[in-house]
Amino acid sequence: MSDFFTDEYFMKQALMQAKIAFEKNEVPVGAVIVYKDQIISRAHNLSETLNDATAHAEMQAITAASNMLGAKYLKDCTLYVTVEPCVMCAGASYWSQIKKIVYGTNDDKRGYSNFHKQIIHPQTKVIGGVLKQECAELITDFFYKIRQA
């Protein structure tokens, strides 16, 4: 990875997607998938828009990346997501064999690590806490806004 394409750089791209979700009144989670230092998919939560509980940012990004590569396995890809994946998204990362997951802030209620850490593929490297403050603030601001409405 070059000096320009750092985990922070790609997490900022995921944060841009989360901000789009925020503006759409979706839970502000954003994701990008990177292959050879190139973003091959960008996504944000669409559960409200699509009326689909499974339309999480990670699910949308995995589907788009698989379509882009023409492959069901993403063995050489990195998933950047602003919030720790839930059990469903962690399971999807397992089945797609993502090489690396980088997330921003923990999800103390629904994050996969609260349930079973082995949901992640054994060859997948996981890094948490990248731009944690920015990612956490966006989620906090969103739920504060919802409660004030």
Residues with catalytic function: 58
48 vs 20, 24, 51, 81, 99, CA distance in Å?
Answer: 13, 9, 5, 19, 29
Is residue 16 within 8 Å of 30, Cβ to Cβ?
A: yes
Pairwise CA distance, residues 85 & 73, whole Å: 18
Angle between helices 57-69 and 87-96 (to 10 degrees): 10
- Is residue 27 a contact partner of residue 142, using CB atoms and an 8 Å limit? yes
Q: 79 and 102 in contact (C-beta within 8 Å)? A: yes
CA distance 71 to 99: 14
Q: ∠15-20-25 over CA atoms, to 5°?
A: 120
